[in-house]
Amino acid sequence: MIETLKYLLIDFWEQESDSRIISYPLMDGGPWLSWLIVIIYIYVVKIFGPRWMRQRPAMSLKLAIIMYDIMLIMINAYFFYQYSIAYRFGIDLKIHHFERISSESDQSSCSLLLFYMFMLSKYLDMMETIFFVLRKKSNQITTLHVYHHSIAPLLVHLYIKISPYGGPGTIFPLINSFVHTGEDSFHFLTNSLSSS
């Protein structure tokens, strides 16, 4: 029993990980630090944040949110462009098999770095919910919203860790960055034109 647990918590992640990613922050060992970040995020947006803001006035963060939206538009447009070029608009996606590429070719190293930066951007996306909490927009903190912002970084983490160059996870960054470019553009426009 203890050997099985040790394998699942430690050995599996060391044996099955892509060796090129281990030196990156958050990528050494299992996904436990990523899980911790997500657990803290859920606690802050669902429990701590609303309690902390209960007796405080809603914050006016219009300029910060506009700057945040501009930054996310640029980041997601960049990812969409890069994935579109790297995978020829989805034609070269290797969805049906998990390919392990051990080469240090420029393309695979570039893809690995791009996927890693995409994962980090999913943690940055969590700030949107923090803004909702600080502005007392609890009606926008839906279960679906929190679930999406919690599961996206975890799935991308597992994807890069185990199979960064193939499998069904390859299509997620392409679709997600396209959707977020449009969504963040809409948020930018509504926040820019709103009076509050």
What is the domain partition of the chain in residue ranges?
A: 2-193
Q: Is the pLDDT of residue 113 over 90?
A: no
Q: Do 171 and 90 meet the contact criterion of CB atoms below 8 Å apart?
A: yes
Q: Which helix (H) or strand (E) holds 161?
A: helix 143-162
Residue 6 vs residue 77, higher pLDDT: 77
Instruction: Give 87: exposed, middle or buried? Use CB within 10 Å, 0-12, 13-18, 19+.
Output: middle
Most confident of 1-5, 107-111, 187-191: 187-191
Cα 96 to chain centroid, rounded: 23
The Cα diameter of the chain in Å comes to 60
Percent of all residues in the chain with a pLDDT value above 90, rounded to a whole number: 49
Q: Do 108 and 165 meet the contact criterion of CB atoms below 8 Å apart?
A: yes
Least confident segment among 24-33, 95-104, 151-160: 95-104
pTM given for the model: 0.86
**Average pLDDT over every residue of 84-101:** 63
Residue 183 vs residue 6, higher pLDDT: 183
Q: Is the pLDDT of residue 102 over 60?
A: no
Q: What is the pLDDT of residue 164?
A: 67
Helices of type H across 87-170:
106-124, 127-134, 143-162
Assign 56 a pLDDT band (cuts: 50, 70, 90): very high
Q: Is the pLDDT of residue 175 over 60?
A: yes
Cα 38 to chain centroid, rounded: 11
Q: Is the pLDDT of residue 101 over 60?
A: no
Sequence-distant (≥ 6) Cβ neighbours of residue 128 within 8 angstroms: 68, 149
